[in-house]
Amino acid sequence: MTAKVLVVTPGKLGDCLISLVIPANLARAGFDVTVRGDCAHDLALWLPDIRTGPRLSAQEYDRITDEFDFCLIDSQAPGLQSDGIDARPGLSHRVVFFSLAHHDPSLDGRFSLQELPAEKSALFRDRIPRKGLIRDKTKSGLTMVEHVVEFCRRELLLKEAHPDIGLMPSQTSEREEKKRPIVFSPTSGKARKNWRAERFVLLARQLQDIGHKCVFAVAPSETAEWSKRLDGQFTLAPTPTIAALAKLLSDARTLVCNDSGAGHLASALGTPVVAVIPRRDSDYTWRPGWGRVKLVSPILPTRALSGLWPYFVSVRKVRHSLQSFLPPGETISE
């Protein structure tokens, strides 16, 4: 009988996508995998190799473990710590907790193999992570996606693990390459990570003036603000769901964005990404970890002046980075 494995992912889009490296590799190794989390569930039709379900409620955690042979749960997953109650200690002998970067080490080493039937105990005995923290700071230069691959190989004995999360783009339309839009995602989960809004708009205007189709995409809660800001100059694509955003990005020529979940999603779909980030390190750990990615950083160190970093990234610099993702011979004029 195939072992049934549950993986509960983080709540944020980028973190969820990075974490999906784990269930994707478990599925390829022959396990019957279910992923619970709203972001993954919204992409259910795009993830044919795994089952998905919505995020677990606080009440579901205690009984969900009875439905699976082995449970891997992100220690920061929604619902684990709610109303002042931390459910993790009580679950730690029945589930294994992991985390991309913010892990409580007291949760390590508490899983009891005695909770499993003998045949399942033998299967998972050597797959119990010794440490749930995925990021290994002794290994510089890796993306978080690569850190998760290393975790799969080291802790879960998935020796053939690789970065592919099994995200299958829907069939794209047979449009001419020149008619595929350049998509702009000018926001993120934290305002301090955002390049200046007017520079996104200026770049789009310059590209539109030379014949490129430019489309903007923001979260539903930001639609009213950006509709007013764009004032009809550009299409503001309706993206009420993550699946709708995925469809837009899969059809795009490239994405210009901040350090955001949209960048990770485009990257996982194979769409080229130009990401404007506050940091100057080219091996930034949290950069999109799939496909072709260009990072654009401030021209000067701004760590002591973090609020000013967007002023030190010019439109020209971002435009220049975008050039490499356009077809040969198609030049963005200065």
Q: In CATH, what number is assigned to the domain containing residue 106?
A: 3.40.50
Does position 142 have pLDDT exceeding 80, yes or no?
yes
User: Domain check: are 138 and 263 in the same one?
Assistant: no
Mark whether 301 and 204 lie in a shared domain: yes
- Please report whether residue 254 resides in a domain: yes
Structural domain contains residue 169: no
Residues 28, 49: contact at Cβ < 8 Å?
yes
**pLDDT for the residue 169:** 76
- Domain with residue 210: its CATH number is 3.40.50.2000
Pseudo-torsion of CA 242, 290, 160, 7, nearest 10°? -30
Structure pTM? 0.94
Give the pLDDT score at 178: 54
Q: Is residue 228 part of a domain?
A: yes
17 and 134 in a single domain? The answer is: yes
Phi and psi of 276, rounded to 5°?
-90, 120
pLDDT tens digits for range 289-298: 999 999 999 9
Sign of CA dihedral 246, 135, 166, 32: negative
Judgement on whether residues 182 and 151 belong to the same structural domain of the protein: no
Residues 135 and 205 in one domain: no
Whether 81 and 182 share a structural domain: no
Within-domain flag for 172: no
Do 110 and 72 belong to one domain? Answer: yes
Whether 332 is in a domain gets the answer no
- Say how many domains are in the chain: 2
Query: Considering only 53-62, 78-87, 170-179, 221-230, which range has the smallest mean pLDDT?
Result: 170-179
Least confident segment among 6-20, 33-47, 77-91, 254-268: 77-91
Residue pLDDT, tens place only, 68-87: 999 999 999 999 998 889 99
Q: Point out the domain boundary residue: 124, 155, 186.
A: 155
Rounded to 5°, angle at Cα 278 from 273 and 284: 65
Q: Is residue 163 part of a domain?
A: no
Contacts of 302 (CB under 8 A, 6+ apart): 278, 308, 309, 312
Specify if 74 maps to a domain.
yes
Q: 333 pLDDT exceeds 70?
A: no
Q: Which strands form 182-185's sheet, in the order they lie side by side? A: 235-236, 214-216, 182-185, 254-257, 273-276, 293-296
- Position 331 in a domain: no
pLDDT score for 187? 97
Same domain, 225 and 291: yes
- What does the pLDDT look like over 17-45, one tens digit per residue? 999 999 999 999 999 999 999 999 999 99
Range of the domain at 64: 4-155
Q: Are residues 261 and 120 in the same domain?
A: no
Residue at which a domain ends, from 123, 155, 187: 155
Same domain for 266 and 315?
yes
The C-alpha torsion from 41 through 43 and 45 to 48, rounded to 10°, is -80
The reported pLDDT for the residue numbered 121 is: 82
Bigger pLDDT: 307 vs 71: 71
Same domain, 315 and 183: yes
Q: Give the mean pLDDT of 130-137.
A: 94
Same domain (yes/no): 19, 56: yes
CB atoms within 10 A of CB 312: 16
